Amino acid sequence: MQQDKAVGSVRSWEVIVAVLFLAFGAVVVWDSRRLGASWGSDGPQAGYFPYYIGLFICISAAVNLYNGITKASAKPFVLWEQLRMILIVMIPCVIYVALIANPWYGLGIYVASALFIAFFMRYLGKYGWAKIAAVSVGTMAVFFVMFEIWFKVPLPKGPLEAAFGFA
Amino acid sequence: MQEIHSLMGGFAVALSWFNLMLMLAGITLGVVIGVLPGLGGANGVAILLPLTFSMAQQPGGQTSAIILLSCIYWGALFGGAITSILFNIPGEPWSVATTFDGFPLGQKGRAGAALTAAFTSSFVGALVAVLLITFLAPVVARFALRFGPPEFFSVYLLTFSAFVGMSKGSPFKTIAAMMMGFALAAVGIDTVTGQLRLTFGFTDLLKGFDFLIAVIGLFGIGEILLTIEEGLEFKGANAKLNMRVVIETWKELPKYWKTSLRSSAVGCMMGIVPGGATPASFMSYGLAKKMSRDGEKFGTGMVEGVVAPETAAHAAGTSALLPMITLGVPGSPTAAVLLGGLLIWGLQPGPLLFTEKADFVWGLIASMYLGNIVGLIVVLTCVPLFAAILRVPFAIIAPVILVICAIGAYTVHNSMFDVWLMVVFGIMGYVFKKLDYPLAPLVLALVLGDRAEDSFRQSMLLSQGDLTIFFANSLVGTITGLSLLLLFWPLISKGLAVIRGRNGRA
């Protein structure tokens, strides 16, 4: 059964995360050593505090790794069906952030957001286009007034806003 | 009573129609900001700060400006509770502890009781803190003036030890998450030596990680992912808040006077020393859990479990302004933003403010009383409006929340890099939550990391690297001792259980 297939067990993910923590701690320790983690001529060096932080990360990650291997359950971490749902949200979300601003053709946050909301409403909510247009454009119009005019916080804008004279 | 006389003068300043209107506007805006995950008290105040520039130029305008901004702060404090209880999304870091019991209460259909308890105890906590500010400001200022770097560091240690001692899960996961927060806080330019730490040549990392981005990602995006995984339903509890529920809950609340009192005390303590509202709410929740007769049932939806963190968070959030006005040391991130406002308006925070700008200080203090009364009325009457937001289908509310998160992340530093960072933090939050790595210590370490490091370094400079400075006098020694007790509490309690077990068998 495709739907019930688990993507890794809790144990395997415990181990993966603990190893990542271990690597992170090691990087912190390494960088702190590079900067100098001891007592300089004028007091503690830049790496003095982070060095111990890194050490603590490594120690606790090692304990977590041991616990992960010996104690963690073999229950599924996430089912394939659940992961599919998460990807349905995350992939458009990443595309959305990429659409806001990129070196080639940034749409600006307002247009990208309107498209993002429209996609969700169509794909997951199966709404009619009239309702989709009303909600997505309406929401972003409110945000536009709120941020650009009311709060005066400039957000990334694209060609559409430029056409209306907002740079 | 010199203070009462000054306070009356303050009320005369604050009680103009213009200032009352600003209070109402500030509170309402603050609640909205507090409810929206991502737009928090600190950046909400920061976003609105530029709007007060022209206001502060007019005579008496500085008082009006601080009233507006501080009322946004009160509103955000109130508002954070709403999403915690209804959505299980803490709108603010300090309402994380409110989710522990507030959300289960909402799930049991008692969201109204949870909200009333949260708002009322917020009000009580704030009232106690304002009374403290009014009467004890000079005394407390003198006390805190004795604080040197070792004392500050021991207070940070106490806060973080409390996380370890009171965590439900593995203490090592708490330590790992917390230390990760400290490490992320260290990224960027070292303030003392000017050296680049952990940037590895990436210019985007120069300014380091902002805790707001982490909060938006870990709590906002992470929570949305968890919700999606369990099916496309936003598990918002129904929020019917009618007068009957309010009055019934008010009848229940006096039972918890001990918790209220203790939480107010914890909140005021943590607010005055720069510990902040977030650790105060956790400490207070932890203490209530340990000390209450129903401690075992905490986490399943106890009204007392809402009272404790909310009272403390609001007491701390309010008393955080005490060191801000008296010493120029902000007790919370939002207080730090307000401090920035004072400087921009041309005021010099510090002990002299009380004598030179008595109108301003006492106007602000009077507005704290009035603002919290206005706040309580606004939140108790406007909750149905937020319930309406919850009935919006998931396919609409989810993308809107994601968009708001993205905007929130962007506005912190006007940087797209932060938006990407938010997405990464979101995935991290999802995995961490599934594996029971606590998120709050991570965020808190990220907030306090630099300050904790500074106080540690300064202490080490004072003592030339000798760690016994943290036991050098009775004040710092007591705080450090308490911290160590809390830090090793998991071990101690295990040891006690073993001893008790043996006695039981004998």
Question: Percent of chain A beyond pLDDT 90?
Answer: 30
pLDDT for the residue numbered A129: 92
Distance CA B399, CA B188 (A): 32
pLDDT for the residue numbered B355: 64
Could you identify the residue written with the tokens 């998450």? Answer: B177
Task: Please list every residue in chain B whose beta carbon sits closer than 8 Å to the beta carbon of residue A96.
Answer: 402, 406
Interface confidence: ipTM more than 0.95 = no
Rounded to the nearest angstrom, the minimum Cα separation between B6 and chain A is: 35
Check pLDDT > 90 for residue B137.
no
User: Given pLDDT bands bounded at 50, 70 and 90, which one contains residue A137?
Assistant: very high
Could you identify the residue written with the tokens 């004040």? Answer: B475
pLDDT for the residue numbered A96: 92
Looking at A85-94, B77-86, B87-96, which range is the least confident one? B87-96
Tell me whether A60 touches chain B (CB under 8 Å).
yes
Mean pLDDT to the nearest integer, B66-70: 85
pTM exceeds 0.80, yes or no:
no
Domain boundaries, chain B: 2-494
pLDDT for the residue numbered B494: 81
pLDDT in tens, A68-120: 888 877 788 888 888 888 888 889 999 999 998 888 888 888 999 999 999 98
pLDDT for the residue numbered A2: 46
The residue of chain A nearest to residue B416, with distances taken between CA atoms, is A101
pLDDT in tens, B37-59: 545 566 566 656 655 666 666 77
Task: Please list every residue in chain B whose beta carbon sits closer than 8 Å to the beta carbon of residue A107.
Answer: none
Task: Please list every residue in chain B whose beta carbon sits closer than 8 Å to the beta carbon of residue A125.
Answer: 393-396
Q: Tell me which H or E stretch contains B197.
A: strand B196-197
pLDDT for the residue numbered B68: 86
Better-predicted residue by pLDDT, B470 or B324: B470
Task: Find all residues with CB under 8 Å of B320, minimum gap 6, and list them.
Answer: B271, B272, B274, B276, B277, B330, B331, B332, B334, B335
Cβ-defined contact of B47 to A153 (cutoff 8 Å): yes
Cβ-defined contact of A117 to B419 (cutoff 8 Å): no
Residue B89's region, left for phi above 0, alpha for psi from -120 to 50, else beta, is beta
pLDDT in tens, B437-462: 877 678 777 767 777 788 888 888 88
Rounded to the nearest angstrom, the minimum Cα separation between A30 and chain B is: 9
- Name all contacts of B429-433 with Cβ < 8 Å and 24+ positions apart: B429/B217, B429/B218, B429/B219, B429/B221, B429/B222, B429/B223, B429/B225, B430/A86, B430/B221, B430/B222, B430/B225, B430/B226, B431/A13, B431/A17, B432/A17, B432/B177, B432/B218, B432/B222, B433/B222, B433/B223, B433/B226
Classify the C-alpha dihedral B26-B27-B32-B33 as positive or negative: positive
pLDDT for the residue numbered B506: 44
Mean pLDDT to the nearest integer, B314-333: 71
Check pLDDT > 80 for residue B406.
yes
